[in-house]
Amino acid sequence: MKIVTKQIENNQQAFLKIRDWCAYQERCQQEVRDKLDGYGLKTDDAENLIARLIDENFVNEERYAKAFAGGKFRIKKWGKIKIKQGLKAHRISDYCIQKGLKEIDDNEYIKTLKKVLEQKAKTITEKNHLKKKQKLVRYAIGKGYEQDLIFDILNGDSSE
């Protein structure tokens, strides 16, 4: 069931409204498509508006991927796996996903994972060392970090 938020009078009015929405923060094509669908625009009209937004540089998938990856890493402390899944959910191309993930510095990534693990370790009351380690591994995997990197850090094998 499609929910129409507000019927837009014409394509120019829709363009001005969606342009302002895109100027406020980075948007991907799928978010714009969903928003225009909510306005009740026909698919062809919506695609034409998206093409115009791309031409005028209001929508840029590569720029979106970089902003998404950087933001989720810095603010939510997500790992690369979870970031990649989030971008795929927004239907971002593999090329743009790779560009976005390159925004994350490898040394900063390892430092952040160490900090995430240290903070989580403080909250775990488990006395059994192996069970505590298992909980840390599960937590970090849930945050989207790579299993081998998690084990390297927990075993003291990581560089830095």
pLDDT on residue 159: 52
Tens of pLDDT, residues 149-160: 999 999 886 554
pLDDT at 18 over 80: yes
The model's pTM? 0.85
Closest-CA residue to 140 (of 104, 112, 160) = 112
Share of the chain above pLDDT 70, in %: 92
Computed over every residue of the chain, the mean pLDDT equals 90
Find the mean pLDDT for residues 117-130: 93
- Report d(CA 152, CA 13) in Å as an integer: 55
Count of residues making up the chain: 160
Query: Read out DSSP for 92-111?
Result: --HHHHHHHHTTS-HHHHHH
- pLDDT one-digit tens code per residue, 32-68: 999 998 888 888 999 999 999 999 999 999 999 999 9
CA 128 to chain centre: 35
- pLDDT value for 88: 97
Place 3 in a pLDDT band, splitting at 50, 70 and 90.
very low
